[in-house]
Amino acid sequence: MSKNHKTRGAGGPTNPAGPVYGVISTLDDAAPNPADFARFPSPEVKKGELSLFLSWDSPKKNMEISSKLSNRSWIVDMLAVFFGIGTWLGVNGTFIQLPLLVNEAPEGWSLPSYLSVMVQIGNLGPLLYTAIQKYSPKKLNDGWTIHGVLLVGAISCLLTAFFYNRTALVAGTDHSLALFVLTCFTALNACTSSVLFMPYMGRFKEQYMVTYFIGEGLSGLLPSVTALIQGIGESGNCVLVNVTETGQEIYELQKTPPRFDTRVFFLILFALMVFAYVGYALLNSLPLARREYAQVTVSEGNKYVYGEADSQPKTEKITKGQYTYLLLLIGVISLFSNGMFGSIQSYSSAPYGSQAYHLAATLSVIANPVACFMAMFLHFTSLRIITVLSILAGLLTSYVFTTAALSPLPPLHDQTTGAVLVVTAWTLLVGIVSYTKLGITTVMRAQGGQSLVWVGAITQLGSAIGAVAIFFAINYSDLFQAAETGC
């Protein structure tokens, strides 16, 4: 590492071009020519992309993997994973706990739609951060801002453990006001991480961005595993409790209580957030971690430029039409995936039994990090693949919306086949959507400039429109009917 490279860390001289952090583009991200991004790529390009899926045992691939494994600090890897866990942990955990929350909340099965709106309110965090960085004469220090964001997320999980079931009258109707407010702060941590945490990790060498994304995937996986251990989602048994004078038998649904309650669940999330905070604090202060910095600068507006030491090639640009197409596509995908899926999942899967609902909620969250992990190895930049995956996601979306709209009596609702289909559909849908969004982000990241800013803005816009639309559809129309949970 050169002397000049060492001075680029914290405490070194200020770079007039901007702070030293950024989004790292890999050599694979940079298209050698515009044909690599063509909607109908050449046979050579398609063969090259297919080889990434199939050539696991090639000597070149093995040498690349071996080089990446040796040229890294495993301590920094571990800290980056902990840091990534602190992104969407609280939001994912809240939605995974819905099978228990809906039984206590006065909103019942409408609770997911309310929580989706609360999550969108969390987008005020990145908007406020961006406005301050752009218009305020005094800029925020990213390091200290991350400290504050992680503390907000940790404290929100802690308070949720004790106040999640507190209600209050709002416009004459009982609502889970405490849960709503705390979900807003939990979402503030999650949404702000999208514009703050990843650019911070850009200070480090490229390989540590990968382990950060693994941690971000674990922010969904760990609450899912905790919920499975908790044992929620069991269908229960109908037990004969009385017989009327006319001989009519009265049954009552009795469920096996979970191994621990919602309070313990959120306390576990709080402990994980503490680990995430400690991981970031060490990552930000240890000299060992600072020795793993890369040489890259980011100017205002998240325009990133590589230093000469990084030897990044100049990327070719996709056409304006393709650029617009990808932005519109990720906006539509975000409208459904971020804005609507969480709200309709209970209507779609609950008619098949509480176990099917719990499995759909849990496995779909697990599908997200699995897809992210696959994308690290099965890398693609073809618009044709992106379009095909989007069509598949559209077909699965039609199916889950149909089951939600036909609730409480969707097709095959009284058969095991129906439960298997709906759980499989939700798992595949979330996995394909996550994989597709990563593919779009990869292509846009290679364009440089403010492409990622546009991706983030369109993503949040689509998410907000979807959340508001489904909120009114659920609460102010008869499109969705909750399934009966009794015998």
48 with 182, same domain: the answer is: no
* pLDDT, position 57: 54
What is the spatial distance between Cα 472 and Cα 33, in angstroms, rounded to a whole number?
Answer: 46
DSSP letter string, 8-65 = TSTTSPPPTT--S--PPPPTTTS-SSGGGG-SS--HHHHHHHHHHHH-TT-HHHHHHH
Q: What is the pLDDT along the chain (487 residues), one digit of tens a residue?
A: 444 443 333 333 333 333 333 333 333 333 444 434 444 444 444 444 444 444 445 555 455 545 555 577 889 989 999 999 999 899 989 988 988 898 889 988 788 888 888 988 888 888 888 788 777 778 788 789 999 999 999 999 999 999 999 989 888 888 999 999 999 999 999 888 877 887 777 677 767 776 787 788 789 889 988 988 888 755 567 777 777 777 777 767 677 788 899 999 999 999 999 999 999 999 999 999 888 887 656 555 445 554 555 444 344 568 889 999 999 999 999 899 988 898 898 899 989 987 888 788 778 877 877 877 776 677 667 889 999 999 999 999 999 999 999 988 898 988 899 999 999 999 999 999 988 887 787 777 667 666 766 777 788 788 888 888 988 888 888 888 877 666 5
On whether both 432 and 388 belong to a single domain, the answer is: yes
Q: Is residue 284 part of a domain?
A: yes
One domain for residues 206 and 180: yes
Q: Is residue 258 part of a domain?
A: no
Same domain, 192 and 112: yes
Look at residue 437 in the predicted model and tell me its pLDDT: 84
Does the CA dihedral 81-87-90-92 come out positive or negative? negative
What are the φ and ψ backbone dihedral angles of 243, each rounded to 5 degrees?
A: -130, 125
Asked if residue 252 belongs to a domain, the reply is no
User: How high is the pLDDT of residue 132?
Assistant: 83
Whether residue 255 lies inside any domain: the answer is no
Residues 364 and 282 in one domain: no
Given 311, 334, 368, the domain boundary residue is 311
Show which of 311, 333, 350 is a domain's final residue. 311
Given the structure tokens 């036909």, which residue do they identify?
406
**Rg for the chain, CA atoms, rounded:** 24
Range of the domain at 218: 1-24+72-235+263-311
Alpha carbon distance 427, 360 (integer Å) = 7
For residues 2 and 57, state if they share a domain.
no
Which residues pair with residue 250 across a beta bridge? 242
In this structure, are 182 and 228 located in the same domain? yes
Quote the CA–CA distance of 407 and 401 in Å, as a whole number.
Answer: 10
Asked which of 274, 292, 311 is the last residue of a domain, the reply is 311
CA 450 to chain centroid, in Å, comes to 22
pLDDT of residue 376: 63
Tell me if 268 is assigned to some domain.
yes
- Cα 32 to its chain centre, rounded Å, is 30
Please tell me whether residues 287 and 350 are part of one structural domain: no
282 and 332 co-located in one domain: no
CA distance 455 to 461: 10
Q: Residue 298 phi/psi, 5° resolution?
A: -125, 125
pLDDT on residue 22: 36
Is residue 193, in this structure, part of any structural domain at all?
A: yes
Nearest C-alpha neighbor of 187 from the set 467, 423, 458, 420: 467
244 lies in some domain: no
In a domain, 348, yes or no: yes
Domain count for the chain, please give it: 2
d(CA 216, CA 222): 10
278 and 405 inside one domain? no
- Asked if 201 and 80 count as a contact pair (C-beta separation under 8 A), the reply is yes
CATH of the domain at 95: 1.20.1250.20
Shared domain for 284 and 347, answered yes or no, is no
Q: What is the DSSP string of 135-165?
A: H-SSPPPHHHHHHHHHHHHHHHHHHHHHHTT
Domain co-membership, 152 together with 19: yes
